[in-house]
Amino acid sequence: MLTFKQDNNVFRYRSVAVAIKDGCVLIHKQADTDYWSLPGGRCEFHETSAETIAREMEEELGEKITVTRLLWVSENFYSTKRHKYHEVAFYYLIEFDDRSPLMDLSATHIGHESHVKLIFAWRPINKLDAVNLKPDFLIRGLQHIPEQIEHIISLD
């Protein structure tokens, strides 16, 4: 995975899934965190960002997806108690098969990344301001899906 560390600084190259159905978006979080994000993961060497998101959805949820189009290229800068992060992320509009159990918008879905339990849930896009969703640009961005690729710089 393309992650580089120097002292307390961390650089990540990431690919992210934007799944929308009936006015809802699929979000996820680790079981032990208080914030939500869109599903995705870190790119590997010699893998395109579109290939990454397909691999991540299969690893985390056992689901094959269709990558529709690139929405955002984002530079995210944020800090935790232990690290300062610089993340470059590619956000792709994706689709799941309509017959997938994941298409149940009322259910909570469980996935795994290595040994980490992931909680997936569909949330109404027009009520995301009540969700601790990171990065912050997504709350407005998901309400106005761009027609063309946008470059976002996010300072959380």
Here the CATH number for the domain that contains residue 57 is 3.90.79.10
When divided into structural domains, the chain yields a total of: 1
Would you state the pLDDT for residue 118?
Answer: 93
Q: Which two tokens stand for residue 16?
A: 């992210």
Strand partners, 19: 94
Give mean pLDDT, residues 72-85.
95
Give mean pLDDT, residues 48-66.
95
Confidence of residue 113 (pLDDT cuts 50, 70, 90): confident
Is the separation of the CB atoms in 146 and 73 below 8 Å? no
Burial of 126 per CB tally in 10 Å (0-12, 13-18, 19+): exposed
Is the separation of the CB atoms in 154 and 135 below 8 Å? yes
Would you state the pLDDT for residue 32?
Answer: 87
> Which helix H or strand E contains 74, and what residues bound it?
strand 65-79
Is the separation of the CB atoms in 8 and 84 below 8 Å? yes
Percentage of the chain lying above the pLDDT 90 cut: 85
Give mean pLDDT, residues 38-49.
96
pTM (predicted TM-score): 0.94
Query: Across the chain, what does the average pLDDT equal?
Result: 94
Give mean pLDDT, residues 118-127.
96
Percentage of the chain lying above the pLDDT 70 cut: 100
The closest alpha carbon to 56, from 26, 89, 10, 14, belongs to 14
The closest alpha carbon to 16, from 56, 61, 46, 62, belongs to 56
Would you state the pLDDT for residue 61?
Answer: 92
Range of the domain at 81: 3-155
Measured in whole angstroms, the distance separating CA 39 from the mean position of its chain's CA atoms is 3
Is the separation of the CB atoms in 47 and 14 below 8 Å? no
